[in-house]
Amino acid sequence: MQMKKLAAALMLAGLACAVAAEEVRVAVAANFMAPMKELAPLYEKATGDKLVVSYGATGAFYAQIKNGAPFDVLLAADAKTPAKAVKEGHGVAGTTFTYAVGKLVLWSSDAALVKDQKALLHPAVKKVAVADARLAPYGEAALQALDALKMKEAVEPKFVVSNNIGKTFQFVESGNTQIGFVALSQCFKNGAFTGGSGWVVPQDLYKPILQDAVQLKAGEKNAGAKRFLDYLKTSNEAAAIREAYGYGTVR
């Protein structure tokens, strides 16, 4: 009987270890900040894990990762960076997937300014915020859309360029620029703009903004990192939050 009790105790201890709470360090693209702030406490409550979240530019995060920054997971603003992480030995093969499809919006903090793309040519619009197309997928998408609309030549002299979409949004929100191309998730929730006015750029005017996640080598042995990615991929709660902020999903 004592041996059976000991075996049962050891089994329970093993199970407890298997599901032990972990601290997971997550680097998150700036455009996904608002959804992540809602998603994180739900995940923590469901699993007991603790998420330590940093927000910023994907390119800057990858430079840090290459220099040894101890992130366990990267939620990128593109698909190229997670693929590069795996290829260059900083990401875990087989863990990448598209967690969200971003949407581009032309937005202003002025509630009456934007009805469609013609707002770019409004006499009051002296400055147009845009993220650097060399660094940010939303900036690249903005240039593609302007090319498709045959408006790039007219609008480009008004550009105020920043190195990530978070700063781009700050320019527009503060009124430092009258208008700008930002991520829909930054100014939209539950089917409506949270302020100002905007025009959701038709998705056929730019290449899909596929945002991929990857488990990083620093977190390869972190069971919580895998749990978090599984949650992001399969949870109905995570899907509902993404939808609320206007993200698309891969069909």
Question: Residues at the annotated binding site for molybdate?
Answer: 58, 165
Beta strand segments in 59-156, E: 73-75, 97-102, 104-108, 128-131
All residues at 6 or more sequence positions from 194 whose CB lies less than 8 Å from its CB, including other chains: 187, 188
Amino acid symbol at 18: A
Report the b/e string of 18-37 with b at 16+ CB within 10 A: eeeebebbbbbbbbbbbbbe
Name the CA dihedral angle for 39, 40, 45, 51, rounded to a multiple of 10 degrees. 160
What proportions of the chain, in percent to the nearest 5, are helix, strand and coil? 45, 25, 30
Integer Cα distance of 164 and 107 in angstroms: 16
Residues comprising the binding site?
58, 165
